[in-house]
Amino acid sequence: MGDVEMRLELVPVPVTDVDRAKEFYAQVGFSVDHDHRVSDEIRFVQLTPPGSACSISVGKGLTALAPGSLEGIQMVVEDAEAARAALLERGIEASEVQSFPWGDFVFFSDPDGNGWALQQITSPDLGKD
């Protein structure tokens, strides 16, 4: 079969209130790409973080996951401090920057409790003792 290219392009995020989630993610800085009411049972909203090739979807009738059950969704940022400042400026509650050997992180959650992490990738200075 050989190597097959597989690009992650859409992650469903389970929410209770589609309009509230759409507004929240737009406030975080995601672009609103689509908002389609397919039927009374199905609504599809696609949002994309700035600079990302992968989008999220929120809506009605899209996933059986419980609202707020998604954790550990991670986005990479250039500067964790600047990303945190931007979230706070937009009225989004965000953790202090937390440093680990593999990167600096800022954590936040959407109104349903779905957990997000912003990671500034850092490399250990291997040239020093």
pLDDT tens, position by position, 52-67: 999 999 999 999 999 9
Q: Mean of the per-residue pLDDT values for the chain?
A: 93
Q: Per DSSP, what are the bridge partners of residue 73?
A: 116
Token output for 69: 């059950």
Domain residue spans in the chain?
Answer: 10-62+69-121
Given a cut of 50, whether residue 128 has pLDDT beyond it is: no
How far apart CA 36 and CA 102 sit, in angstroms, is: 39
How far apart CA 25 and CA 72 sit, in angstroms, is: 16
Q: What is the pTM of this model?
A: 0.90
pLDDT tens, position by position, 65-101: 999 999 999 999 999 999 999 999 999 999 999 999 8
At the top level of CATH, the class of 10-62+69-121 is alpha beta
